[in-house]
Amino acid sequence: MLKKILLVTFTAAVLACHAAPKTQPLVQGVSNIVPDEKQALVCKEIVGLIENYNYKKIKINDSISSLVLDKYIKDLDPYKYYFLASDIKEFEKFRYSLDDDFRNGDLSAPFYIFNVYLKRYNEFLTYAFTEIKAKQNYTQNETYVFDREKMPWTSSKSALDDLWRKRVKYELVNLKIAGTPEAKNVETLTKRYEALKSQSSKLNNQDVFQTIMDAFTETIDPHTNYFNPTNAQQFNEDMARSFEGIGARLQLENEVLKIAEVIPGGPAFKSKLLSAGDRIVAVAQGAGEFEDIIGWRIESSVAKIKGPKGTKVRLKIIPAGMEMSAKPVIIELVREKIVMEDQSAKKKVQTIQSNGKPYKIGIITVPAFYADFKAANAGDPNYKSTTRDVRLLIDTLKNRDKVDAIVMDLRANGGGSLVEAIDLTGLFINKGPVVQVKDLRNGVEVSEDNNPGVAWAGPFGVMVDRLSASASEIFAGAIQDYGRGIIMGTQTYGKGTVQSSIDMNKLVNPSIIQRLAALVGKTGGVIKTEKEGIQLGQINLTMAKFYRVTGSSTQHKGVMPDIEFPSLYPMDKIGEDTEPSALPWDEVKASNFTPVANLAAVKPGLIALHKQRMAKSLDYKIMEQDIAELNKSDKEVSVSLNEVKLKQERDSLEAKNLAKINSLRASRGLPAVKKGDKIKKEESFDFVQDESLRIMADFMQVTDPAAKGLVKNQTPLN
């Protein structure tokens, strides 16, 4: 129904609004980037979507226009490296007109601002090439201010040049301190800036439009986001944890597309014709003509290589180790569906000794709440999802590994699918409410797990940190509210809003898109194939809020852990409560749920045991030192350009860090390392995870060990 309403609303809006955009001022000395008709259409629709369907029910007016202008300028130049005070003064004429412009699909003002930014950026690059070759004096007591966010805009070009000079000098002195010859440093930095210049020359109106829409939508709320067609595809692939292509990770190196990794199980892997380090110089579709892709933007090249499963792609390859002048090798691959297993849920088992008794604990790491909705809707019985993956892992941990407890690691899990958060909770509770959702009309809907039985009825814990957000908070909050397990870590992010993904193409009458395609063709644009059509992108629109089964919102406050650790992330800089446009915390009526257990009596004892260990823990002491040092360095805004002074500071810091590393290694019976040594992966130690497992061992000792289950009167899932 919502899509029908939207279709009628926005088809009418498109037909009604034909205000001609203002003439975009040209910026001298730069190839001016201009918007196209697609972007004008999308901009108008986004205004309508926000005003009619965003949870805030906000009117796009002069106040919003002013905020958007400030955010857009800050997004382009956060540390005031490029714009002059005179540029900012000129942009003031747009302060109260962007709302009307966006409503009419007029993007001339923000595109003009971007072109001014591009001019300043290119001026900086030109200046940098000259300054790199200039003779530097590293004995002067100069200071480079790298964080200029709170400083005034530079008033003159000469002052800006001086800032740029110090920036280049800082990069050179860093290279010099590393011990490489000055001639090599000049070469290294020249290549670095040539790469930056190449990247800036490839910027297109899609990049600019994305930046404009980011500033616009994030002014409304932090999680209403527009994705241009390329970014929309990437977002949906990340959510599905799969894509269709050859199965290789690609990167751009010196204008050439290089294979960074061949994904096991994919066409490239099975063919044995491609290896990491190979370079792709041309692409052909099936029996079609080859297109040379050297110098292309990486997303443009990737779009040519990806494609529907079952289709053929031919590649011209320069094998790793061979000169670019070598004759390319031509290979042919048939594209397949690639599942990104390394970005999916994984398990491992660790044994913890506590009071002379071993406890075998399974750890399931969940990086996101993902689901391949496209495959699910198509009826694929083996579609990819977090819950399906975790259920299989639990089955293995329970029946093969015979673990005593399970810990779910949701650290740095930014969320994802609401449905998956509900279904995953259902693996650990019998039946009942999981989350409440209040829509923009203030209606509250209770989402429940309706599947009887559990996949795991034993001792359970959840690890969270400041980056655990959204669906992670729903899951952790439900586990806590039901008394189903122990939550360990730091206060979570506090994202308690619900976004609906809307395909912009589905909001517009197909005849409008056909007319738009014809218009793009007349103005010199590239018309895609009939199958692809004109792509308008996707918007994730905030349309509701999450509430725990207790009625408390996760917005702003997040989930407070039962056992708390110091935060490795600055709480005053990361989190929903640091976002100026974030929705507030509030409550709704509690839902009708029956807790599994009351762990209130258990928690104080677990906290006491945790604190006893921490008082004696070298890892904990060093963690607190690291956090204090990070907070101190976070307040620094400048650095010395005097080589001797800078080197002394760096050497002192490196020596201090090395001493800490070796003291920790000694405590674990590992040999000391020297400066520059690489620490083996198997020697790395996750202190927070290790302590969380010890907390679980405590938990099992203070609960009934004979019962082996905390979820009473529940049957296993079949």
How far is the CA of 633 from the CAs of 220, 371, 626, 660, in angstroms? 32, 40, 10, 18
Residue of 306, 337, 384, 495 marked active site: 495
Contact 99, 65 (CB under 8 A): yes
Could you count the other beta carbons within 10 Å of the beta carbon of residue 52?
A: 14
Give all strands (DSSP E) within 329-480, no chain letters: 329-334, 336-339, 346-354, 357-365, 405-409, 432-439, 444-449, 460-464
Contact 558, 576 (CB under 8 A): yes
CA distance 567 to 405: 25
User: Among this protein's residues, is 119 annotated catalytic?
Assistant: no
Quote the tokens at residue 651.
């050497």
CA distance 247 to 338: 6
Could you count the other beta carbons within 10 Å of the beta carbon of residue 79?
A: 15
CA distance 398 to 456: 8
Q: Which residues contact 632 (CB under 8 A, 6 or more apart)?
A: none
- Please tell me the number of Cα atoms within 13 Å of 570 on its side-chain side: 11
- Please tell me the number of Cα atoms within 13 Å of 178 on its side-chain side: 13
User: Among this protein's residues, is 62 annotated catalytic?
Assistant: no
User: Among this protein's residues, is 481 annotated catalytic?
Assistant: yes
φ, ψ dihedrals at 66, nearest 5°: -65, -45
Contact 308, 244 (CB under 8 A): yes
CA distance 576 to 12: 36
How far is the CA of 524 from the CAs of 37, 320, 360, 519, 587, in angstroms? 12, 39, 65, 9, 54
Contact 410, 469 (CB under 8 A): no
Residue of 481, 562, 619, 698 marked active site: 481
How far is the CA of 46 from the CAs of 55, 205, 499, in angstroms? 14, 17, 14
Contact 292, 286 (CB under 8 A): no
3-state secondary structure of 23: coil
Active-site residue set? 470, 481, 495
